[in-house]
Amino acid sequence: MAACCFRRSIASQLSKVLDLPPENLIKSISAVPVSKKRHVADFQLSIASVTEDSSSESSAQDLHLQAQKLAERLKCDAVVSEISTGPGTVNFRINRELLAKTVLQQVLKDGSEYGVKSELFCTVPRQKVVIEFSSPNIAKKFHIGHLRSTIIGNFIANLKVALGHEVIRMNYLGDWGMQFGLLGVGFQCFGNKEKLKSSPLQHLFEVYVQINKEADDENVKKLAKDFFRKLEEHDEQTLSLWKQFRDFSIEEYIRIYKRLGVHFDEYSGESFYQQKSQEVLKMLEDKGLLQKTVKGTGVVDLSEKKDLSLFSTVMRSDGTSLYITRDLAAAIDRMNKHSCDTMIYVTDKSQSSHFQHLFQILKLMGYDWAERCQHVSFGLVQGMKTRRGEVVFLEDVLNEVRSRMLQNMASAKTTKEIEDPIETAEKVGLAALIIQDFRGLLSSDYQFSWDRALQSRGDTGVFLQYTHARLHSLEQMHGNEQLTDVNVACLQEPDAISVLQHLLRYDEVLYQSSQDLQPKHIVSYLLTLSHLAAVAHKTLPVKGSAPEVAQARCCLFQAARSVLANGMKLLGITPVTQM
């Protein structure tokens, strides 16, 4: 990583002056974000992070004074051409030609691994991670919350894999419970085997809606209870029908996930844990954790004073398990099966207390690994409607975004003849959805807007795709061979330096996202990269420039496109080459 050799060089000089090991200083030296003011510095050291006496009482004046004293003891060398101070920082400007040469060589050499090979990650142990995400309920609509869970979980999995971790992508389906009693009865009344095969999600949803209208009818209630009881008793005919519901639904989900560019290593579900949840209840009882209430339900006391002021219900009065009991069984089973280091659950924030209870009960049961389980929660999306009305299925959203994008592309003056406009519209549309979703904190609710998401200018996924396609066609026009002997003296214009400085920061942005699992850092970085590349594309023409200058600029744009593509892929976006 380009930034690493510069950080190491600065740290090595600092370590002699501060009498600290260089490795302790690496993370205190950060690349300076590009701003309109055009910083002369490329890296800065925060004084507060390296001085022992910089308590919170230290005034800004003290820190500035300390920065000045430290700067006076440092010398410029072959790497650092200028040292200055800012508010509580020592700033380092890298030799301009060395900056260009090192960044370009490193980006083009590392390719898709640029940034992830950084020493910032050398202290991060490689782990085995189970990530549970998407997890729709069979026969219920795949609502927009499931879309958020799917793209967020996919991003976390992509990031973990890129950083060298072993990841198991798991889809934990809602495929059990009393609603299957109702669905079974509904299918016996209104079901159609052919429709079940051809469009299972749509058909089962329609059946469920129809039977729900009669759900208060005592006879229907009794039939539904009987159907579910038979299911729990593994009655062959009942189980066979339920299996068809599940298998056909999974087949259709796989097809839809393929459109999203998402795959799973394992399809699990609540149904797997029917028996095992009874074993969990037995374990809770043996450990003295299961308490019976007056109503006959089973609860686990989670209060500090053990006065039942906070508890979790884990058993119905008839002895059957609940959702949380099945989740307990699933967590224990996964840990036994995969021996993973950590488990991540991606669901909306309304389930936060459910996961707090889940992890707390696991700890009470003596499972220390519960400490390493994590719930990544996200907010709600309002206002996502298609032209036909409220979103019922994920496919509605994908079709809508594709058709709107096709329409926009057809009316745009810049659109060229494209080999496969439908596929391009789908990829660009998906980028629009993902960037609109990932721009803020995941836990924030946001108002969805088709018009805002699909704008070709501004901070959108469409703009990222447009920039990538434009840089790609520049490469095609001016030879896209790997460029080596570039004269970096031709890349000293401010707009070229801004792109190089920004490329320098990529590993820090990846590190930030790896720490808090928030995609917004990468999104913000890629949008800035696209804006900087767009400006450079205008002010640094390749066409009509002297061969040496054209080659150097080509190399700069190739590096920008490479990092842009890497970041987009991490977010779950397939970069397009024509638009």
Catalytic positions are 140, 143, 146
Residues 300 and 284 sit within 8 Å (Cβ to Cβ): yes
Residues 314 and 325 sit within 8 Å (Cβ to Cβ): yes
E strand spans, 79-146:
80-86, 89-94, 128-132
Which distant-in-sequence residues (6+ apart) come within 8 Å of 142 by Cβ? 136, 201, 256, 393, 394
Residues 188 and 180 sit within 8 Å (Cβ to Cβ): no
Residues 45 and 10 sit within 8 Å (Cβ to Cβ): yes
Q: Which two tokens stand for residue 294?
A: 């007056």
Mind giving me the DSSP string for 242-306? HHHHHHHHHHHHHHHHHHHT---SEEEEGGGGHHHHHHHHHHHHHTT-EEE-TTS-EEEE--TTS
Phi and psi dihedrals of 439, rounded to 5?
-70, -30
Residues 257 and 265 sit within 8 Å (Cβ to Cβ): no
Query: Distance between CA 129 and CA 343 in Å, rounded?
Result: 6
Strands 43-46 and 89-94, bridge-based pairing: antiparallel
Region at 524 (left for phi over 0; alpha for psi -120 to 50; beta for the rest): alpha
Identify the residue whose tokens are 């440092």. Answer: 74
Sheet containing strand 266-269, strands side by side = 266-269, 166-173, 128-132, 342-348, 373-378
Q: Containing H/E element for 155?
A: helix 144-162
Mind giving me the DSSP string for 521-562? HHHHHHHHHHHHHHHHHHHS-STTS-HHHHHHHHHHHHHHHH
Query: Distance between CA 90 and CA 66 in Å, rounded?
Result: 9
Residues 433 and 144 sit within 8 Å (Cβ to Cβ): no
